[in-house]
Amino acid sequence: MTFKELGLKSEVLKSLEELGFETPTPIQTEAIPHLLKEDSDFVGLAQTGTGKTAAFGLPLVSKVEEGIKIPQGLIICPTRELCLQITKDLQNYAKHLNISIVAVYGGTDIRRQMKDIKDGVAIIVATPGRLVDITDRKALRLDEVKWVVLDEADEMLNMGFKEDIDTILDKTPETKNVWLFSATMPKEVAEIARNYMSNPLEVSIGHKNQTNENIEHIYFMVKERDRYAATKRLIDFNPSIYGLIFCRTRNETAMVAEKLEKDGYNAAPLHGDLSQAQRDSVMKRFRERSLQLLVATDVAARGIDVSDITHVINYNLPDDIENYTHRSGRTARAGKKGESLVLINTREMGKIKHIERVIRTTFTAGRVPDAKEICEVQLMQLADKVISAEVKEDDIQEFLPIIMREFEGLSKEDVVKKFVSAEFNRFFDYYERSGNLNASKEDERGGRERRDRDDFDNNKTRFFVNLGRRDGLNPGGLLRVLCDSTGLRSDKIGRIDIMASFSFFEADNELVDQILTKANGTEYEGHQVSVEVTRKRKEGGGSRNGGGRRSEGRSFGGNRSDRGGERRREGDRGGDRGGRSGGFKGRSDSRSGRNDSRSGRNDSRSGRSGDRRR
Ligand code: AMP
């Protein structure tokens, strides 16, 4: 089936050609011929991403009479975002027609919108509250309206717009047609259909609660405290990510966005505490792709229609499963593939099972990638970027002789090695310290033992320090003390766990003497520092009791509540690398959604999509 066969005007077909729309989507094939008819009420059960805007927009712009300045079409939708999006889409469809389309939404100057309407408008796209305001001011005639579209009707009712919708519909002529689109059909939506439509054609694209088949749903089980670090790894593992990260609350949204920004990622928050101007600016950047990661609440992200989002990351699952569907539906638009990644802690498996039942989808169990995998992906990305860089001979010509002299005597292999090291040393150092972030159900019970087994490295020694959080010690403070006293660089110190009254850190075995002699007896904020070896891993590992466990045994025996201590996380020092090396992450120049075939893998179980199928 082609758009031409659906019966659209030639001017509209021309716009579609320019937009690159070749084949109608299923909802378009079903809806368009019906909506082009004389008397056409319609109910479409379809999610965003199915092409529903064009399903009503194309017939609407085809039917509206050109050159008439009183509104004939009225589209009502829940959010300002969606309102602007629909307006833009319709303006594109109507590019070769003489039809004026105006967006009317809250939070901005009402007089300007009233003036636009007064100047003459054929189609109004509006949010309910503002539309009622404008009609109350008698600035809008609705008596010539022939078509009313209710888009995302379930969302509008969820958001409490029922009364406004009734008010508006009651002001429009009896003879109008109503086209209603909704992802779900709760009884309130069915009631609107009953009250305002006669014999509508009902089209359902997929099961009403079914999510798009192009979305791969993957969950990652991590310890609660590793949620943020795991999120960063998923991002690092997908260098071309163009993603939406969902949090449950405004606070969490602000916190995650702030940490990511601090850690050098190209991320920004979108939530209700921001002013309208701030939200607009963030959305603009995201849409233009100068922002790579948008961290949002469910409410703020409603109605966002941004194409080509590669990943939705559920930092925390929503309480309401309906929201999960809305979230994951932001990726895999218009026939493309996408991934919805979910972070859960060891007690949240039930939530995954519940979502699976309701949306009739199976999740894949993912594995948070380890340092080596991430470094490999990042290196491949870098290599790819270098190899595909365009060489501007004329521009570099005059600098070449001097540069060539600098490199004189280095083989190709040396140059490559040096170049990789220059870009990556900091990154390697950073990840070298990080352990395995994957948790399992057993972690809930024998978590401590498991961590011992999994995380400690044979080449590292674990040290006990007599000071803890109660002494004002934090990971940065401990690093400072150790580096100042020993003269070591901070990247020589591995993982740090700050407990209430004592702490641990790791360092390479060969540094034991240096650390014990130099760090012992120094001071930290008036306290004398004492450092002991707690354990040295024996070759081949396996022995959890190897080495002097005295300190650790004593401490844990005596103070079990300290177990959930403030472990130094990856994020604590991530700023170092993002900021200074500036080479490997969150870059706005990343070719999002690019097909990274060089990496030659498609291991989605580890959250990877370097070679995405896009
Ligand atoms: P919607 O469900 O209306 O939010 O549309 C999702 C995305 O698909 C939008 O970015 C549209 O521009 C795009 N789209 C809609 N219909 C088609 C089509 N027939 N061919 C290609 N892209 C489309």
Mean pLDDT to the nearest integer, 297-325: 83
pLDDT at 364 over 50: yes
Cβ of residue 329 lying under 6 Å from some atom of ligand 1: no
More confident residue, 280 or 169: 169
Report the percent of the chain where pLDDT is more than 90: 37
Q: Indicate which atom in ligand 1 lies nearest the CA of residue 49.
A: 2
Confidence band, pLDDT 50/70/90 cuts, at residue 255: very high
Return the top range by mean pLDDT from 74-88, 192-206, 447-461. 74-88
Confidence band, pLDDT 50/70/90 cuts, at residue 453: very low
> pLDDT tens digits, residue range 458-515?
677 888 888 888 788 888 788 888 888 888 877 788 877 777 677 888 888 899 999 9
Cβ of residue 212 lying under 6 Å from some atom of ligand 1: no
pLDDT at 551 over 50: no
Q: Which domains does the chain have, with CATH numbers?
A: 3-204 (3.40.50.300), 215-370 (3.40.50.300), 372-432 (no CATH), 441-577 (3.30.70.330)
**Under 8 Å between Cβ of 310 and 243:** yes
Calculate the average pLDDT of the chain. Answer: 79
More confident residue, 396 or 99: 99
The confidence score (pLDDT) of residue 506 equals 86
More confident residue, 440 or 35: 35
Mean pLDDT to the nearest integer, 281-291: 91
**Under 8 Å between Cβ of 230 and 221:** no
DSSP output for 162-219: HHHHHHHHHHS-TT-EEEEEESS--HHHHHHHHHH-SS-EEEE-S-TTPPPTTEEEEE
**Under 8 Å between Cβ of 492 and 498:** no
Structure token digits, residue 208 = 């009403």
The confidence score (pLDDT) of residue 324 equals 87
Q: Indicate which atom in ligand 1 lies nearest the CA of residue 20.
A: 21
Q: Which residues pair with 180 in a beta bridge?
A: 43, 150
CA dist., res. 604 & res. 360, Å (int): 20
Determine the distance separating the centroid of ligand 1 and the alpha carbon of 363, expressed in angstroms: 26
pLDDT at 278 over 50: yes
Lowest mean pLDDT among 245-259, 470-484, 557-571: 557-571
pLDDT at 606 over 90: no
CA dist., res. 578 & res. 571, Å (int): 11
pLDDT at 209 over 50: no
Q: Where are the beta strands (DSSP E) in 243-391?
A: 243-246, 267-270, 293-296, 311-314, 338-344, 364-365
Cβ of residue 25 lying under 6 Å from some atom of ligand 1: yes
Lowest mean pLDDT among 133-137, 143-147, 391-395: 391-395
Cβ of residue 307 lying under 6 Å from some atom of ligand 1: yes
Return the top range by mean pLDDT from 291-300, 324-333, 374-383, 497-506. 291-300
Determine the distance separating the centroid of ligand 1 and the alpha carbon of 19, expressed in angstroms: 10
